């Protein structure tokens, strides 16, 4: 056997060996329709049930007082500048803040302002007042237990409706 033939055979064997090593790395010869059934998700955690304790109304507060006090604007007083932004009243309930947006003689105008406020996610309601043989519709926003948020809402309402609203605090 000649030297040139030996080199060709050795070269062919080396290229064949390299092909056997490199081809599987370059190409994936597995079945493409095969689905990997091994889960990569961790096992579900152990969760135990939690008992939720129902909130109780303070003993000093009667039910009818709370139900009527939220929308009773006759007990409100104008806010003072140096009051604490978050406080408790004498009954250990959070102090509430209300914004008086305005008074309207026309119910349609009051309803329009109420709808505008509610569409902007304000907690607004109407209070009917008889004053000198005339019925007025007052628009109120509240209650809010944080004076700073009530003040920020007041600024937004003034810009939205182009009014000068007033901030009030609840006595009860």
Domain CATH number, residue 91: 3.30.70.1070
Q: Does residue 125 form part of some domain?
A: yes
Q: What are phi and psi of 36, to 5 degrees?
A: -80, 115
Q: What is the pLDDT of residues 150-159, one digit of tens each?
A: 999 999 999 9
The domain of 103 spans 75-170
The sign one gets for the Cα dihedral 99, 100, 102, 107 is positive
pTM of model > 0.75: no
Q: Does residue 83 form part of some domain?
A: yes
Q: What is the pLDDT of residues 104-147, one digit of tens each?
A: 888 999 999 999 999 999 989 988 888 888 889 999 998 888 88
Q: Does residue 44 form part of some domain?
A: no
CA 104/CA 78 separation, integer angstroms: 20
Q: Does residue 107 form part of some domain?
A: yes
- The bridge status of strand 166-170 relative to strand 124-131 is unpaired
Number of independent structural domains in the chain: 1
First to last CA, the chain: 115
Q: Does residue 95 form part of some domain?
A: yes
Q: What is the pLDDT of residues 21-58, one digit of tens each?
A: 887 777 776 777 777 778 788 888 899 998 988 888 77
């Amino acid at each position: 056997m000649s030297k040139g033939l030996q080199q060709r055979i050795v070269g062919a064997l080396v290229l064949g060996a390299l092909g056997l090593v490199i081809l599987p790395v370059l190409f994936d010869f597995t079945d493409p329709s095969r689905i990997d059934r091994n889960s990569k998700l961790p096992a579900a955690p152990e969760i135990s049930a939690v008992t939720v304790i129902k909130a109780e109304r303070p003993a000093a507060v009667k039910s009818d007082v709370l139900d009527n006090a939220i929308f009773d604007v006759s007990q409100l007083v104008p806010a003072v500048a140096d009051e604490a932004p978050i406080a408790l009243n004498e009954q250990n309930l959070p102090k509430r803040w209300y914004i008086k947006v305005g008074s309207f003689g026309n119910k349609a105008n009051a309803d329009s302002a109420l709808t505008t406020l509610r569409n902007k996610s304000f907690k607004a309601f109407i209070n009917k007042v008889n004053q000198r043989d005339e019925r007025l519709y007052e628009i109120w926003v509240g209650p809010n237990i944080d004076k700073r948020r009530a003040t920020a809402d007041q600024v937004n309402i003034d810009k939205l409706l182009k009014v000068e609203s007033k901030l009030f605090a609840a006595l009860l």
